[in-house]
Amino acid sequence: MLSKYLPAKRLLEFIDQEAVYPRKKLISFSAISGITNGLLLGVINHGAGMVGEFSAAGYLQFYYLMLFAALLSLLIYTKRYTLEKAAVLVEEVLYKVRIRIADKIRHTELSFVEATGHSEIYNSLAQDTVQISQSATVVFASIQAAIMLIFTMVYVAWLTLTGFMLTVTAIGLGAWVFMLKRERIMNDLQSATEQEIHFFDALNDTLSGFKEIKLNRIKSHDLFEHQDQIATDVKTLKSRAGINSVFVMMFSEIFFYILIATILFIWPFFNGTDPGTIIKLTASILFIMGPLNLLFGSFPLFIKADVAVNNLRELEQKVDTASQGFQLGEPPEHKPFTFERIHFQDVRFQYVDKEGAAQFKVGPVNLDLRFGETVFIVGGNGSGKSTLLKLLTGLYYPVSGEITINGELLDQDLYADYRELFAIVFTDFHLFDRLYGIQDIDSSKVNALIKEMGLAGKTRFKNGAFTNTALSTGQRKRLAYINTVLEDKQIYIFDELAADQDPGFRKRFYEVLLPGLKEQGKTIIAVTHDDKYFATADRVLKMDEGQLSENGVKGN
Ligand SMILES: Nc1ncnc2c1ncn2[C@@H]1O[C@H](COP(=O)(O)OP(=O)(O)OP(=O)(O)O)[C@@H](O)[C@H]1O
């Protein structure tokens, strides 16, 4: 029950669940360092009380000095060990979690990536991990401080029970104020994180829409005002959390000054306590004030770390839910299928919005795709061509109907292998500057292709990467084409690849490049509006409001 109120609870649980390191050793060293620190106080206090006796019995002075030196050495060794190892441990944990989430993201589904804001992912994997990293060493230093505190309190109890009760009351009051404020600080920080994601969204709009806002000052101003509003909200929330944190810190400090005043000026008035005990008690309290300030002062950091852990966990949970447990598996060593035929039988698909309400629908689609064909797909904007391609390539799953590959039903186990059949240039393709996934690249072959595609002098392939990808839209598409054909897949899909090309290249694309691929035994699907070249295809399919037809015959 009480653990609910433990500062940095989530962070400690997080480290505990993720750590690969021998935590027991770390915790025991941490405890030894705290105990040693407490014992050092005892030696100092007792040594101080015996200064008068040292001249009479010199060996006592030596004895205390030796004890002091031994404890100090042990303290230095254990404290250094704990803090150093804690720093390494936290980085190991963060590495593990970060890379695990990154790995899970690549295993998730396209629909999840399309629906999730990139800012949320960046924010968690970048900002939150930094926050955890910053807080973790302080957490371990605080654990040491807490253990030292416990031991000092045992010493104080042995010294005087009333003094002990007074000190515990002061600590208890500090902790009570913390608990009162904890929830509010935590909520404010959590809300601030959500706002920060919107801030990154707006920043992304500024960068991605830079051309548009540069041309339109009102638009630019409006976007900036929106961003400013978000930043103001973040500032307000974080400031309020900061003020509440200062409140907690100040209170704990004030309680201690009140405690010292009580011990020094009020307590002796009621009770003729031994001045020696009062001095030792005051020294003990001053001794624990540093660690206590560290503890109370670190509370805001612990809360921030807990919020960060929460965000990371939530992101991972979302990714887990979205990936539905399907694994990509290891990359295949051989071609998983030799493509002969893909058949769609009454395949339907539909988008749903965040509330689960049905949006655009595709199907029922009946389609037969055979080895070696060149198929063109035509259709108006928003008719569902790209959606159909995502269904065909296994990026979306049908909500009903069947897909078979070479007569075999395409079930979840086959999807990862099935996707390997395709290489595709989408209309919103991403141009990689390295040829990831292509082994033993022959640079001269790549450079010959670059020349063939009219990109000589614009970019070159060197040291496994293209020297330049800052090209015109049409040129970038040609480079994407090169990337795709080098993948040497069985089915090539080009979504409006020719749309941004000049008439000369367009003619070459339809009359030379596509027939060349066909000759190599490739199957080709191209989304196109170039009716002039329809004759170069074996078949022309048409999409219209999610319905597929061939030569005007629906459901072919
Ligand atoms: N991720 C998505 N979530 C919800 N609806 C979507 C999504 N992607 C596309 N749509 C909707 O599905 C419909 C078909 O889109 P699609 O991109 O398949 O059309 P298209 O024929 O390729 O269009 P264009 O020729 O303009 O590229 C559109 O009405 C679009 O609004």
Q: Which atom of ligand 1 is nearest to the CA of 115?
A: 1
DSSP-derived secondary structure letter, 59: H
Tell me, in angstroms, the distance from the centre of ligand 1 to residue 347's CA. Answer: 17
Kindly provide the ipTM of the predicted complex, given to two decimals. 0.97
Tell me, in angstroms, the distance from the centre of ligand 1 to residue 481's CA. Answer: 23
Confidence (pLDDT) at 318: 84
User: Any residues with CB less than 8 A from the CB of 391 and at least 6 apart, and which?
Assistant: 344, 347, 349, 362, 365, 398
Distance between CA atoms of residues 424 and 529, nearest Å: 18
Domain ranges of the chain: 10-323, 341-554
Classify burial at 273, counting beta carbons within 10 Å of its beta carbon; exposed 0-12, middle 13-18, buried 19 or more.
middle
Q: For the chain, what is the radius of gyration of the CA atoms?
A: 34
CA within 13 Å, CB half, 257: 5
Confidence (pLDDT) at 555: 42
Confidence (pLDDT) at 517: 92
Name the average pLDDT for the chain.
83
If you take atom 26 of ligand 1, which residue's CA is the nearest one? 381
Q: Which atom of ligand 1 is nearest to the CA of 543?
A: 21
For the domain covering 10-323, report its CATH number: 1.20.1560.10
Tell me, in angstroms, the distance from the centre of ligand 1 to residue 382's CA. Answer: 5
With a cut of 50, list the residues of the chain below it in pLDDT.
1-3, 5, 552-556
Confidence (pLDDT) at 2: 41
Confidence (pLDDT) at 218: 87
Confidence (pLDDT) at 553: 44
Architecture of the structural domain at 341-554: 3-Layer(aba) Sandwich (3.40)
What six digits make up the tokens of 336? 């998983």
Classify burial at 210, counting beta carbons within 10 Å of its beta carbon; exposed 0-12, middle 13-18, buried 19 or more.
exposed
Confidence (pLDDT) at 468: 86
Confidence (pLDDT) at 365: 93
Confidence (pLDDT) at 166: 82
Q: Is the pTM of this model over 0.80?
A: no
Ligand 1 in reach of 551 Cβ (< 6 A): no
Ligand 1 in reach of 163 Cβ (< 6 A): no
